[in-house]
Amino acid sequence: MNICRALLSDAPNLVRLAHEAYRHYIARIGRPPAPMLADFTRHITDDTVFIATNDMICGYVVLCHDLVCWRLDNIAVAPSNQGQGIGAALIRHSEFFMAKRRAVSYQLYTNDLMHENINWYRNSGFREIARREEHGFKRVYFEKTIHQP
């Protein structure tokens, strides 16, 4: 597996992967989850997007930075590649990238009906910091400290 920055030409494949990874949540949430509606062209242009490849894109992570903090906006692994450590590798790569930019922590949120994601984040070292409703979605917010290399 290789992890590198996404190119604009990767955007259509990221849209496809997001739909594959998140479509099973539509029935549970009652509408497409936010990652299915993401503008990957804008993310690649304005944010930091890393892709994991095994001959094809099998996972991605979108990192956003503003004046306050770094945020993991979206992470997904193709269903056929889940359970192989790709998500964990993307997290490690992202944390190394943020640490080099002197970040001490970062945040993310997920829908409170995405129980699998909540458990995965907790098991990956994130701690819950808030729950609130925004844009019609009930969200669970997490934060993780970045250990400096």
The residue segments making up the domain with residue 103 are: 2-145
CATH number at residue 117: 3.40.630.30
- What is the model's pLDDT at position 68? 84
Domain count, the chain: 1
Q: How confident is the prediction along the chain (149 residues), in pLDDT tens digits per residue?
A: 999 999 999 999 999 999 999 999 999 999 999 999 999 999 999 999 999 999 999 999 999 999 889 999 999 999 999 999 999 999 999 999 999 999 999 999 999 999 999 999 999 999 999 999 998 889 999 999 998 76
What are 4-9's contacts with CB under 8 Å, separation 24+? 4/50, 4/51, 4/53, 5/48, 5/49, 5/50, 5/51, 6/40, 6/44, 6/49, 6/50, 6/51, 6/60, 7/44, 8/41, 8/44, 8/45
- What is the model's pLDDT at position 136? 84
- What is the model's pLDDT at position 147? 84
**pLDDT tens for residues 70-109?**
999 999 999 999 999 999 999 999 999 999 999 999 999 9
